[in-house]
Structure 1
Amino acid sequence: MITEGETTTSYPLSPRNRVKRLHERGSYDKATIHGLLDASMLCHVSYVVDGQPYCTPTFFWREENNLYWHGSSASRMLRNQSDGQRACLTVAHLDSLVLARCGFNHSADYRAVMAFGTAYLVTDAAEKERALVAMVDRFFPDRTATLRQSTVQEIKATSVIAMEIEQASAKIRSKGVADDDEDYELPIYAERIPVRTVLGAPEPCPRLLDGVERPASLRGYSEGRLLEDALRDAHFAHYAGG
């Protein structure tokens, strides 16, 4: 059932996820939110344990309206989300530094997402096995099939958390320098400094056996490409646009 403020192409809107400051920068459509999530690998997950807030950085991935992340079975985050914990997962892309003509108007261009839901420990063996494959293949399509199989102990030591996105919002600033009109008459230098995360040249392990070549499946991770483009393409390749 579609809830108030929700459409088939957007997440429901409520005070929890509504962008309050500079609300014109907010977006709730799934295409925008999913695109920003799929272009990232590192997130921050916030939750509360016994009244104490925590925020944990971790790798994550998306499958339709569900988010997954993993970690050590001994971690505080995973231990306290095993029975269902309210959580907020965020990602952010920094696009530029903005130097204006007054301190108040100094800013940054960015794209960010906040996703809300109830996180739970994946205990079903089949779902966990599939998720552990996706944990690698979502970023490096088809790689798991070429690897040594994980041992029972390695699988036991790794936990997977899932969270259906109940609500989410994106917030985007892309305006560059935005001074007050009268400040443009001041003899003060202002500029926008673009920021990009670009892949460097691959550095093969020095202990590679003779004859082991870099697989063609990694060609998307080539020197000079934007990381977000490589991650987004890998997501599409693994999920066929899902």
Structure 2
Amino acid sequence: MLSNSARTTIKKSAHKARTDTEILHQIIDESLIAHIAITEESGPVVIPMLAWRVGEKVYVHGANNSRLMRNLGKGNMTCLTFTLFDGWVLARSAFHHSAHYRSAVVFGQFEQIEQRNEKDQLLNHFIEQIAPGRCEDIRLSNNKELDATMLLAISLSEASVKVSSNEVADDDADLDVRAWAGFIPYKTVVGPLKASSTLDEGIEEPDYSPAYAKRWAEL
């Protein structure tokens, strides 16, 4: 069950709110992109970042000299948003056109992961999440690379979720309008793999499709 705080209470379209932690996890795991808010002297800034989940925490990484990482590394309050667009809703009236989507908002403060071994494991976890088994084939990060990278974690203890998947919401008075009504589904397709131009001949193509289930492209 998700937290229930003043910031996570959904007031607009409250019927779209979801409280199941599993839905929150699914949105984060499928999106892997967080839009993160910081406030600077010049004003607010929202920056998209790669983000991944391990248990009840979300992780982001970047260079030590990144303005975003420096800001978040100080423990400043922030907000992360994740959005998955699932399609358009076409109604009989212009007013009721809408969209299907799944979104999550996470509130809190980041903390730094300082210990090299833990940092290495968490960064490798992200690689394994997007390409299972890859860490067995590649050169892993060395100490210099790990020391140049800042890794931050934020708890999922304060989060909200909205899911829009409703039927076309035409007014009764518009049901006689002779216009097609329905949905334009929108799906993200992953793959197939495309080899680098620098790849040596004879290297077998790996299979990363298990990480993406039905989203993996069918040849």
TM-score, length-scaled by structure 1:
0.82
Give 1:203 deviation, angstroms.
0.9
Aligned partner (choices 14, 19, 23) of residue 23 of structure 1: 14
Which region of structure 1 is more displaced relative to structure 2, 165-174 or 135-144? 135-144
Tell me if the contact between 2:38 and 2:71 (Cα under 8 Å) persists in the aligned partners. no
1:220 has 2:210 as partner: yes
1:33-112 mapped onto 2 (5 Å cutoff): 33-50=24-41, 52-112=43-103
CA distance in 2 between counterparts of 1:132 and 1:157 reads 13
SS in 1 for 2:49: strand
Runs of 4+ with >4 A deviation: none
Change (3 A) 1:219 1:23: closer
SS in 2 for 1:185: coil
TM-score, length-scaled by structure 2:
0.90
SS in 1 for 2:12: coil
Unaligned 5+ segments in structure 2 are: none
Give 1:106 deviation, angstroms.
1.0
1:154 has 2:145 as partner: yes
Change (3 A) 1:138 1:199: closer
CA distance in 2 between counterparts of 1:124 and 1:149 reads 16
SS in 1 for 2:197: coil
Aligned partner (choices 157, 160, 179) of residue 166 of structure 1: 157
**What does residue 128 of structure 1 align with?**
119
**What does residue 194 of structure 1 align with?**
185
Tell me if the contact between 1:199 and 1:221 (Cα under 8 Å) persists in the aligned partners. no
**What does residue 211 of structure 1 align with?**
202
Unaligned 5+ segments in structure 1 are: 1-9, 228-242
Tell me if the contact between 1:28 and 1:168 (Cα under 8 Å) persists in the aligned partners. no
CA distance in 1 between counterparts of 2:167 and 2:148 reads 46
Give 1:53 deviation, angstroms.
1.4
Deviations 1:36-61 (A, max 9, x none): 21222212112323472121111111
CA distance in 2 between counterparts of 1:41 and 1:12 reads 22
Tell me if the contact between 1:85 and 1:120 (Cα under 8 Å) persists in the aligned partners. no
Tell me if the contact between 1:116 and 1:168 (Cα under 8 Å) persists in the aligned partners. yes
Tell me if the contact between 1:11 and 1:28 (Cα under 8 Å) persists in the aligned partners. yes
Give 1:107 deviation, angstroms.
0.5
Give 1:17 deviation, angstroms.
0.6
Give 1:185 deviation, angstroms.
1.1
